[in-house]
């Protein structure tokens, strides 16, 4: 009896060897299960992607329609004059170790120009803050794309630099060493520039100190001809020495 139990235990300890057909059948079942699970996952993913893309497309079309309606209303309000959008993007250059008087020259150079022309001007400028201005203009253009400001079909999205103003920064002071034990005061100026982008049909008139310049750097209104009063025939004109200069 003991020998029979030992023989059965030895048979149980021997590893069972499956036939090649059984192994192939198990592998086939496993592969089919994995393929079915993958197909189910792909179907759910495609369904979610399709649904999300449809909703996103509908939302984008609604936003585009709303922007077109707002733009049409602003154009109608402008009438026969140039179209200038009310929405704007403002970007600053940050503090620059440069004189505000010199930086203002660059601001006057790009003010009123389209964004593409302003970038070209600053890329070829040899002034010290020109690279900083190029970076600020590119950041402003990226912000306009994110805010969906401007028309994508136009060059530079139809954006124009409406305003560019310069602010005074913190001035650093130091000691300038002179001869014979004397010294002077050393001043290092700093400044910054803010750039405002707007959508417009035409380039805006740059502000170059013209007394006919409109408010905000936009196109000035047409100068109305002043009414000149005719000279009265019975009224003589005298010069500063009270001598008769003209008598009709």
Q: pLDDT for 85-143, tens place per residue? A: 888 999 999 999 999 999 999 999 998 899 999 999 999 999 999 999 999 999 999 99
Burial pattern 38-76, b for ≥16 Cβ within 10 A else e, equals: eeeeeeeeeeeeeeeeeeeeeeeeeeeeeeeeebeeeee
* 35 vs 95 pLDDT, higher one: 95
Q: What is residue 33's predicted lDDT score, i.e. its pLDDT?
A: 73
Q: What is residue 19's predicted lDDT score, i.e. its pLDDT?
A: 64
How large is the average pLDDT for residues 171-176? 94
- Residue 73: beta bridge partners? none
Q: What is residue 213's predicted lDDT score, i.e. its pLDDT?
A: 42
Q: What is residue 48's predicted lDDT score, i.e. its pLDDT?
A: 53
Most confident of 39-53, 123-137, 143-157: 123-137
pTM check: above 0.75: no
Residue 153 has pLDDT above 50, yes or no: yes
User: pLDDT tens for residues 6-26?
Assistant: 656 665 554 554 566 666 777
Q: Return the CATH superfamily for domain 84-200.
A: Ribosomal protein L22/L17 (3.90.470.10)
Residue 207 has pLDDT above 50, yes or no: no
Between the CA of residue 97 and those of 168, 178, 191, what are the distances in Å?
11, 24, 7
* 23 vs 84 pLDDT, higher one: 84
Between the CA of residue 21 and those of 14, 26, 98, 139, what are the distances in Å?
21, 9, 85, 67
Most confident of 32-41, 66-75, 183-192, 233-242: 183-192
Round to whole Å and give the CA distance between 212 and 225: 13
Q: What is residue 119's predicted lDDT score, i.e. its pLDDT?
A: 95
Q: What is residue 189's predicted lDDT score, i.e. its pLDDT?
A: 95
CA neighbor of 118 nearest in space, from 102, 137, 136: 137
Residue 161 has pLDDT above 70, yes or no: yes
Q: What is residue 236's predicted lDDT score, i.e. its pLDDT?
A: 59
Contact call for residues 88 and 196 (beta carbons, < 8 A): yes
* 39 vs 190 pLDDT, higher one: 190
């Amino acid at each position: 009896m003991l020998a029979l139990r030992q023989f059965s235990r030895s048979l149980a300890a021997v590893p069972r060897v499956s036939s090649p057909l059984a192994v192939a059948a198990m592998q086939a079942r496993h592969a089919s299960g994995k393929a079915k699970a993958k197909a189910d996952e792909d179907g759910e993913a495609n369904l979610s992607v399709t649904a999300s893309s449809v909703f996103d497309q509908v939302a984008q079309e609604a936003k585009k329609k709303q922007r077109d309606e707002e733009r049409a209303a602003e154009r109608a309000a402008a009438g026969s004059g140039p179209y200038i959008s009310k929405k704007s993007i403002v970007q600053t250059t940050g503090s620059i170790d440069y004189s505000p008087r010199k930086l203002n020259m660059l601001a006057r150079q790009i003010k009123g120009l389209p964004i593409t022309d302003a970038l070209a001007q600053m890329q070829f400028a040899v002034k010290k803050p020109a690279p900083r201005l190029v970076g600020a203009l590119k950041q402003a253009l990226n912000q306009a794309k994110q805010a969906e400001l401007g028309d994508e079909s136009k060059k530079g999205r139809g954006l124009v630099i409406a305003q560019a103003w310069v602010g005074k920064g913190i001035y650093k002071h130091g000691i300038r060493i002179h001869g014979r034990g004397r010294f002077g005061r050393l001043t290092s100026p700093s400044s910054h520039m803010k750039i405002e982008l707007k959508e417009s049909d035409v380039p805006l008139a740059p502000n170059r100190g013209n007394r006919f310049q409109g408010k905000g750097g936009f196109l000035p209104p047409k100068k109305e001809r002043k009414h000149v009063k005719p000279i009265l025939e019975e009224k003589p004109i005298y010069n500063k020495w009270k001598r008769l200069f003209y008598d009709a």
